[in-house]
Amino acid sequence: MKKRAEIAGRIEMLQREIRDLVAALGHVDASIRLFDPNADIEDIKPRLPPRHIAFKGEVSRLVLNTLRKAGKPMPVSDVTLAVLAGRGLSPDDKPFTRILSRRVGACLRALRKKGLVTMTRSPGSLGLWGIAPKP
């Protein structure tokens, strides 16, 4: 029942956001017509976000869950593969996997600043990431 309430709440929130966006689009259309009454608004193609865009906090959540489940320090490459799997994406898309690896690395560095993860280096290693011990 909690999950249903959560999903219904998200739907309602998204519907409100859609209404706000439709109103904003109407205002932009009106502004365009002020400057160019003959402009054909229908010819303006929408710009779609990248298809692999993550929700706010999604990568951090997946990274932390991966490290918690592993119970031992992991290299960025293994964490990246787990994040790919968590998002339902294939590691076959090499350019995207490289981009996501950079995002995971940036996420890990930000989590280290917050004191949530630590990095250890063994000789000749790039570094292993793990959950920070509780103080």
Residue 51's pLDDT is 60
- pLDDT at position 123 is 64
- 65 and 121 both lie in a single domain: yes
pLDDT, one tens digit per residue, over 14-55 is 999 999 999 999 999 999 999 999 988 888 888 766 666 667
67 and 123 co-located in one domain: yes
Q: How far is CA 70 from the centre of its chain?
A: 21
pTM, 2 dp: 0.58
In a domain? residue 9: yes
* Residues 6 or more apart in contact with residue 75 via CB below 8 angstroms: 125, 126, 127, 128, 129
- Of 131, 90, 128, 93, nearest to 114 by C-alpha is 131
**Does residue 125 sit in the same domain as residue 62?**
yes
Domain containing residue 17: 2-43
How many domains would you assign to the chain?
2
pLDDT value for 112: 92
Average pLDDT over residues 59-85: 90
Q: Which of 61, 58, 72, 77 is nearest to 118 (CA)?
A: 72
Structure tokens at 109: 């560095």
- Within this chain, do residues 7 and 38 fall inside the same structural domain, yes or no? yes
* 36 and 85 assigned to the same domain: no
